[in-house]
């Protein structure tokens, strides 16, 4: 079976990482895979480093359409069985293949709830897709409510490498630079955008310190710290906040957190970073929004109303005062990750969709 993934992705994040995980897994199972993506983008760099065949094209603006014609020609010559797209405009390649007489199965991953417009153009865009993969049941519900056929939509949750994200051992070695050994380490990983709930976390940190939880360190991993420095100074918590900036060694950091906190106030399709924390054996505090409840509940941490600093303070205070509870939740978190969010499960479920579509493809 020959599989082509198409994504105009220029930067890098959860979407690209999931795609690369699937491509690696398919290759390990003996399938021929290729990845068509933005010329010179981060996705091409990551795929190339992983040894995945990469087809680079200019896929922005008007160049998308000329590149789509070239890519469609290549895809037809290579006789790909499945073309798997990751965004609306990527589907132009699949549409061209359908129009030119090739008959690959066309798959689309919905990494976020789709925004279907009314009218003929929207129906033409989505009708040729044979199967939609939603990254959460929340996205699946949103997709069907938006008008996608329920028979075509299936949830396959994100996954993580359970050997890369793992609990730390007793002989793990030194703490990462800047991490304090005498504190409860509350960790957060994101691009530090306002919708990721950074402000509630910083305000909760200040309130906990004022309430007497003095041995506390808030560690924020990700780019964008400049916008938060003034608030940290205003709250008087400079000595208790560590900004690490963007890091490529996130697994080595997360396992040193005592609690992981990500309390978004905007839409969250699922949140792979929650799964990474679970796999690292760390209790997780999240917002009850979007697909987060499919990963986090009170057996592995706490699920809170969005933008509720009072609830966050109460949850963190309870965890700060009970090492036993943190240990129990952390153990349950790792068990959940192993049972529900391993890479083999995600790859096998994706491959089963491919096989079903190819079996049912018209001659």
pLDDT in tens, 259-290: 999 999 988 999 999 999 999 999 999 999 99
How much is the pLDDT for 104? 85
What is the reported pLDDT for 10?
82
Residues 29 and 114 in one domain: yes
- What is the average pLDDT score of the chain? 92
Q: What are residue 38's DSSP bridge partners?
A: 57
Higher pLDDT, 73 or 198: 198
- pLDDT at res. 121: 56
94 token code pair: 């699949």
pLDDT tens digits for 215-243?
999 999 999 999 999 999 999 999 999 99
Task: Identify the pLDDT of residue 120.
Answer: 54
Q: What is the mean pLDDT of residues 34-45?
A: 91
The phi and psi torsions of 312 (rounded to 5 degrees) equal -65, -40
Based on the structure, what is the number of domains in the chain?
A: 2
127 and 231 belong to one structural domain:
no
Q: What does the pLDDT look like over 328-337, one tens digit per residue?
A: 999 999 999 9
Spatial CA neighbour of 82 closest among 355, 328, 282:
355
**pLDDT tens digits, 163-191:** 999 999 988 888 999 999 999 999 999 99
Residue 135 in tokens: 């990254």
Q: Which of 16-20, 37-41, 66-70, 111-115 has the highest mean pLDDT?
A: 16-20
353 and 330 in a single domain? The answer is no
Q: Is 24 contained in some domain? A: yes
Average pLDDT over residues 293-308: 96
Q: In 41-183, which ranges are continuous DSSP H helix?
A: 42-49, 63-78, 91-99, 120-126, 137-146
Same domain for 297 and 313?
A: yes
Question: Which CATH number covers residue 137?
Answer: 3.40.50.2000
Q: Is residue 210 part of a domain?
A: yes
- 189-208: average pLDDT: 96
Q: Is residue 253, in this structure, part of any structural domain at all? A: yes
If asked whether residues 127 and 12 sit together in one domain, one would say yes
Domain identity same for 32 and 91: yes
**pLDDT tens sequence across 146-167:** 888 999 999 999 999 999 999 9
Say yes or no: 219 and 322 in one domain.
yes
pLDDT at 13: 83
Q: Are 121 and 348 in contact (CB under 8 A)?
A: no
**Residues 7, 8, 13, 16, Cα dihedral to 10°:** 20
Same domain, residue pair 198 and 320 = yes
Return the percentage of the chain with pLDDT > 70, whole number.
96
CA 227 to chain centre: 24
- Residue 258 token pair: 């005592």
pLDDT at 114: 80
Residue 109 has pLDDT above 70, yes or no: yes
Q: Are residues 197 and 334 in the same domain?
A: yes
Are 334 and 353 members of one domain? no
Please indicate, yes or no, if residue 167 is contained in any of the structural domains.
no
Per-residue tokens: 104: 């690959």
Do 304 and 200 contact (CB within 8 A), yes or no? no
In a domain, 170, yes or no: no
Token look-up 């490529």 returns 248
Cite the DSSP H helix spans in 90-249.
91-99, 120-126, 137-146, 198-210, 229-235
| 61-107: pLDDT as tens digits | 878 788 888 888 888 889 999 999 998 777 777 777 777 767 789 99
What is the Cα–Cα distance from 4 to 32, expressed in whole angstroms?
9
Residue 310 CA to residue 313 CA, distance in Å, equals: 5
- Domain extent, residue 267, equals 184-340
Please indicate, yes or no, whether residues 106 and 228 belong to a single structural domain of this protein.
Answer: no
Asked if residue 250 belongs to a domain, the reply is yes
Is the residue at 177 inside a domain?
A: no
Whether residue 363 has pLDDT greater than 80: no
């Amino acid at each position: 079976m020959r599989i082509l993934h198409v994504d105009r992705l220029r930067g890098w994040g959860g979407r690209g990482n999931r795609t690369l995980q699937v491509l690696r897994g398919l290759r390990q199972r003996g399938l021929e895979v290729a990845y068509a993506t933005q010329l010179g983008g981060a996705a091409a760099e990551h795929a190339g480093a992983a040894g995945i065949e990469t087809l680079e094209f200019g896929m922005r603006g008007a160049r998308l359409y000329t590149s789509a014609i070239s890519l469609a020609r290549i895809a037809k010559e290579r006789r790909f069985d499945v073309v798997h797209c990751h965004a609306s405009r990527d589907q132009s390649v699949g549409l061209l293949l359908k129009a030119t007489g090739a008959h690959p199965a066309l798959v689309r991953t919905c990494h976020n709830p789709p925004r279907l417009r009314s009218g003929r153009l929207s129906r033409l865009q989505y009708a040729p897709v044979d199967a939609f993969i939603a990254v959460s049941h929340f996205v699946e519900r949103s997709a069907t409510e938006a008008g996608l056929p329920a028979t075509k939509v299936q949830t396959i949750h994100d996954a993580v490498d359970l050997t890369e994200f793992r609990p730390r051992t007793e002989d793990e070695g030194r703490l990462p630079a800047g991490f304090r050994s005498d504190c409860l380490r509350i960790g957060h990983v994101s691009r530090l955008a306002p919708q990721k709930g950074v402000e509630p976390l910083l305000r909760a940190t200040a309130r906990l310190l004022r309430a007497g939880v003095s041995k506390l360190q808030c560690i924020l991993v990700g780019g964008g710290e400049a916008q938060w420095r003034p608030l940290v100074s205003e709250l008087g918590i400079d000595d208790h906040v560590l900004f690490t900036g963007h890091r490529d060694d996130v697994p080595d950091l997360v396992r040193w957190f005592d609690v992981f906190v990500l309390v978004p106030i905007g839409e969250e399709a699922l949140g792979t970073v929650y799964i990474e924390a679970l796999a690292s054996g760390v209790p997780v505090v999240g917002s009850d929004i979007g697909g987060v409840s499919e990963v986090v509940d009170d057996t592995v941490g706490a699920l809170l109303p969005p933008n509720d600093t009072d609830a966050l303070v109460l949850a963190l205070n309870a965890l700060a005062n009970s090492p036993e509870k943190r240990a129990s939740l952390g153990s349950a978190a790792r068990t959940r990750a192993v049972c529900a969010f391993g890479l083999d499960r995600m790859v096998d479920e994706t491959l089963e969709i491919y096989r079903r579509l190819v079996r049912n493809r018209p001659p």
